[in-house]
């Protein structure tokens, strides 16, 4: 067995998997990865079950060191600079950390969460059937809290097989699609239209429990209190201050604010990866369209093993490239001698 040691890590990083199912009626929050496609792709790259436990890394940097042997890993999700001993590491590709080597990850760029899968998967004692961490409730394993420097995972020794890369479709470039309701009748036509036609931004105060939205005030028809009822991932509640909140994976299972809309499951990962301060809009679609998108997303997950390719093994000699004149003859626009032919004698 080998070990992967957390050398450094920022907040909002924890162990996550596909989440807990079947117990929401008892008030047990599902938790799980914020971006299910990235979770599944990372696991696929190292041969794990698609929804096995991984490290979900928040927007800040992190580093991990292999001990007592080599460790095979893969990273997916929000892009960020990554290197091993100064050598760049590509996202959506598996790589093997040799004993003593450290993977260093920078800040997330254009996203929020990156997923680090380990060959053989993270092991722990399941809590209600899952290792997923909910820090508020103290649930999860092997660490029922955000990760911190010094934590370590005992993992399978690297198999030594060929490294893999995976070809994922580009994330949709458009509005976040929603189903109106179930309490959209608590808002008049003007406020429903305001919700759909406005630019929204995710507040920096957001977390895994809910994404607070910054934008116009959405006004209720009959007040902001309703009889508490069930929520789902992606429910968009509108509290008394009129600022919507999108409920995420660590949400409560019931709530007493009207829900103007629900983010469709196929788009929830895209919303989760939207950086704070980035403007976006919502688009209402029909139930039939939402179900069709859910089927497409399920098919995408099933297709991941077929999207694997052997990673390129060609290594560039950086020093040789530096010394080589790969661009041909260089010229200087302010030095005519470098681009004008000498006059004939």
How big is the CA angle at 214 (ends 211 and 215), to the nearest 5 degrees?
Answer: 135
- Residues 135 and 253 both lie in one domain: no
pLDDT tens readout for residues 47-79: 999 999 999 999 999 999 999 999 999 999 999
- Residues 146 and 199 both lie in one domain: no
Of the three residues 166, 192, 218, the one that is the final residue of a domain is: 166
Q: Decide if 156 is inside a domain.
A: yes
- CATH number of the structural domain spanning residue 268: 2.40.100.10
How far apart are the C-alpha atoms of 295 and 298, rounded to whole Å?
5
How big is the CA angle at 11 (ends 304 and 77), to the nearest 5 degrees?
Answer: 20
pLDDT band at 146; cut points 50, 70, 90: very high
Residue numbers of the domain that contains 96: 2-166
Q: Within a 10 A sphere around the Cβ of 259, how many other Cβ atoms?
A: 25
Q: Within a 10 A sphere around the Cβ of 125, how many other Cβ atoms?
A: 8
Of the three residues 141, 166, 191, the one that is the final residue of a domain is: 166
Cα-based torsion angle of the residue sequence 55, 56, 60, 65 in order, rounded to the nearest 10 degrees: 10
Q: Which residues pair with 83 in a beta bridge?
A: 88, 104
Q: Decide if 325 is inside a domain.
A: no
Q: Decide if 92 is inside a domain.
A: yes
Q: Decide if 144 is inside a domain.
A: yes
Q: Decide if 322 is inside a domain.
A: no
Q: Decide if 34 is inside a domain.
A: yes
**CA nearest neighbour of 153 among 165, 141, 161:** 141
pLDDT tens readout for residues 95-133: 999 999 999 999 999 899 999 999 999 999 999 999 999
Cα-based torsion angle of the residue sequence 326, 327, 332, 336 in order, rounded to the nearest 10 degrees: 100
Of the three residues 114, 142, 166, the one that is the final residue of a domain is: 166
User: What's the sign of the alpha-carbon dihedral 21, 202, 50, 304?
Assistant: positive
Q: Decide if 345 is inside a domain.
A: no
So what's the pLDDT on residue 343? 47
Domains in the chain, number: 2
- Residues 65 and 43 both lie in one domain: yes
Q: Decide if 296 is inside a domain.
A: no
- Residues 102 and 77 both lie in one domain: yes
- Residues 224 and 160 both lie in one domain: no
């Amino acid at each position: 067995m080998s070990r992967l040691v957390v050398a450094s890590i920022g907040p909002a990083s924890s162990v996550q998997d596909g989440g807990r199912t079947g117990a929401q009626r008892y008030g047990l929050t599902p938790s799980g990865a914020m971006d299910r496609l990235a979770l599944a792709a990372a696991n696929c790259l190292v041969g794990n079950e698609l929804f096995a436990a991984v490290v979900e890394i928040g927007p800040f940097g992190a580093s991990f060191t292999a001990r007592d042997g080599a460790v095979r890993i893969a990273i997916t999700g929000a892009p960020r600079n990554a290197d091993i001993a100064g050598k760049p590491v590509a996202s959506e590709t598996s790589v093997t950390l040799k004993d003593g080597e450290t993977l260093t990850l920078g800040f997330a760029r254009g996203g929020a969460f990156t997923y680090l899968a380990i060959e053989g998967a993270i092991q722990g004692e399941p809590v209600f059937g899952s290792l997923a961490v909910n820090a508020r409730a103290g649930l999860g394993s092997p660490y029922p809290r955000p990760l911190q420097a010094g934590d370590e995972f005992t993992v399978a020794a690297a198999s030594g097989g060929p490294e893999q890369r995976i070809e994922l479709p580009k994330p949709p470039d458009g509005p976040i699609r929603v189903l109106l309701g179930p309490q959209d009748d608590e808002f008049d036509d003007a406020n429903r239209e305001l919700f759909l036609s406005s630019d929204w931004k995710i507040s920096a105060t957001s977390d895994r429990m809910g994404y607070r939205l910054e934008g116009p005030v959405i006004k209720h028809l009959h007040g902001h209190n309703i009889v508490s009822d069930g929520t789902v991932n992606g429910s968009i509640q509108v509290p008394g201050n009129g600022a919507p909140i999108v409920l995420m994976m660590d949400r409560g299972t019931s709530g007493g604010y009207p829900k103007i809309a629900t983010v469709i499951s196929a788009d929830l990962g895209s919303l989760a990866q939207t950086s704070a301060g980035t403007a976006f809009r919502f688009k209402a679609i029909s139930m039939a369209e939402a179900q069709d998108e859910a089927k497409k997303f399920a098919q995408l997950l099933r297709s991941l093993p077929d999207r694997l390719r052997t990673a390129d093994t060609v290594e560039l000699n950086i020093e040789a490239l530096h010394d080589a004149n790969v661009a041909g003859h260089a010229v200087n626009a302010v030095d005519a001698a470098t681009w004008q032919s000498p006059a004939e004698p």
